[in-house]
Amino acid sequence: MKQLIRKYNVPGPRYTSYPTVPYWDSGTFSADLWQQSLIKSFAESNDKDGISLYIHLPFCESLCTFCACHKRITKQHSVERPYLEAVIKEWEMYVGLLGKKPVLTELHLGGGTPTFFSAANLKLLIEAIFSKAIIGNRPEFSFEGHPNNTTKEHLQTLYNLGFKRVSFGVQDYGPKVQKTIHRIQPFENVKAVTLAARATGYESISHDLIFGLPFQTWNSMSETIEKTKSLKPDRIAFYSYAHVPWIKGVGQRGFDENDLPTPDQKRELYEKGKELLSTLGYIEIGMDHFALPTDSLYKSMENKTIHRNFMGYSSSSTQLMIGLGMSAISDSWYAFAQNEKSTEEYIKKVNEGKIPVVRGHVLNNEDLVVRRHILNLMCLLETSWKDEKMQLAEKNAIIVRLLEMENDGLIMLNDCHLKVTEKGRTFVRNIAMAFDLRMIRHQPESRIFSMTI
């Protein structure tokens, strides 16, 4: 395994989309083309599947130096209402464009720190969203909560509005690690908010853990997992720390790269962590995720309805996802669109009556086929080109790129089907890269992705 890690530990995308953001062709993108693709997708899928809605709430009171999200650091809570008013206006513009109330199947509040906002303001936001939507039969509403500031009022207010899933960012309980990444939250805080969520009635509670953080050792990682065990969350996201200071700037330069575990040490954290999670009854889902057999994410994997998009893995699959808020990304299946990354520019554009997209990508026929193959790999760990709709002109070249992975025991391959082996799960990003025709044709001149291991 160490030899394979050294061989395959290269920069690569995480494939929350295809094409990946650095390969979007924004030169041929326009707001009009995005809106056309949105209307087309809505007409095709709303009555059957409904839509997903992601709302980006970017404010945080302090900077976590491991974080690669788009955020705004402030302690001034006067920013809440003007921002939410802009989000509501953006939603109203989308509903007007669609021509009727959409069926809301999935809703996720991400950040930033959604629980930076008061419970009252979150209620105002969600009620405004609901007033322009039809709630689906089995909706899945979720939010990300900071253990230090998620109150019982937050939990009860959102639960009363239909939220049944919550995710808490834990990362690591080691004091030295927490101090270095500027994310200090005692186990007692996480325990209190997890138990409060369970008592409120939340059906799925998730904890986010990260391996590969500065000064992280197996001792601190195993202690973190053992403490997590005592709370038995329904899901665990076990992420690899993506060190990309050349993209994220000062936030990820708060420590020396020499403080990070070596690639071998980092993979040991993952392999041992995965083994320990398995002994606790968690089952690995796709990439980076684990769930108890009672959780809807596991059940969606079993019945092959699991989906992956910019919100991560989801147990519900919709063709159309609308992203609201600063930097939010929307996905019509046929096109991607990203909003203004500056809070001020986002609010300004919305108040001018404009849908605030600034860049995106319209997928061509080849993109759509490659996207389906990569999505199959990331969700189901297999894909097939037996169906005529899954054929690619460069199929033979893709197979040639996969042969070495087959020889290394990472995949099982025949003329029309690929299946990732248990050994190959670790390298699913590398396997997906064999299909990434845009990256293969235009290799980056500088490093733009984190390491795959």
CATH of the domain at 394: 1.10.10.920
Q: Do 298 and 410 fall within a single domain?
A: no
The reply to whether 328 sits in an annotated binding site is: no
To the question of whether residue 436 is assigned a binding role by annotation, the answer is no
Check whether residue 282 and residue 416 sit in a common domain: no
Helix (H, G, I), strand (E, B) or coil at 342: coil
CA distances (Å), 168 to each of 236, 265, 286, in order?
10, 26, 20
The answer to whether residues 195 and 217 belong to one domain is yes
Residues 214, 270: Cα–Cα separation, whole Å: 15
Is 191 domain-assigned? yes
> The domain that contains 77 carries what CATH number?
3.80.30.20
Do 148 and 65 share a structural domain?
Answer: yes
If pLDDT is split at 50, 70 and 90, which confidence band does 240 have? confident
351 and 370 inside one domain: no
Is 278 within the bounds of a domain?
Answer: yes
Cβ atoms 385, 391 nearer than 8 A: yes
Is 441 annotated to bind a ligand? Reply is no
3-class SS letters over 283-335: EEECCCEEECCCCHHHHHHHCCCCEEECCEEECCCCCCEEEECCCCEEECCCE
Query: Has residue 373 been placed in a domain?
Result: yes
293, 394: one domain: no
Residue 8: inside a domain: no
At 245, the pLDDT band (50, 70, 90 cuts) reads low
192 is in an annotated binding site: no
pLDDT tens digit string along 361-405?
999 999 999 999 999 999 999 999 988 899 999 999 999 999 999
The reply to whether 355 and 369 lie within a common domain is: no
Q: For the residues of 248-262, what is the DSSP string, one character each?
A: HGGGGGSS-GGGSPP
First-to-last alpha carbon distance for the chain, in angstroms, is: 12
Tell me if 268 is assigned to a ligand binding site. no
Q: Does 421 lie in the same domain as 370? A: yes
Query: Does the pLDDT at position 224 exceed 90?
Result: yes
- pLDDT score at 254: 57
pTM (2 d.p.): 0.93
For 126, other C-beta atoms within 10 Å of its C-beta total 21
124 and 250: one domain?
yes
Per the listing, tokens 């005692």 go with 186
One domain, residues 403 and 314: no
User: Do 180 and 102 share a structural domain?
Assistant: yes
Q: Write out pLDDT tens, residues 260-296.
A: 998 788 888 988 999 999 999 999 998 889 999 999 9
- 184 within domain boundaries: yes
Residues 370 and 355 in one domain: no
Biggest CA–CA distance in the chain, Å, is 60
Q: Compare 428 and 10 and report the one with higher pLDDT.
A: 428
d(C-alpha 360, C-alpha 227), whole Å: 42
In a domain, 9, yes or no: no
How confident is the model over 247-254, as a mean pLDDT? 50
Q: Do the annotations mark residue 66 as ligand-binding?
A: yes
**What is the tally of structural domains in the chain?**
2
**Residue 383: which domain range?**
365-441
**Is 144 assigned to a binding site?**
yes
Residue with tokens 């390491």: 451
Domain stops at, among 339, 362, 385? 362
pLDDT for position 250: 46
Q: In this model, does residue 246 exceed pLDDT 90? A: no
Asked whether residue 242 is marked as a ligand-binding residue, the answer is yes
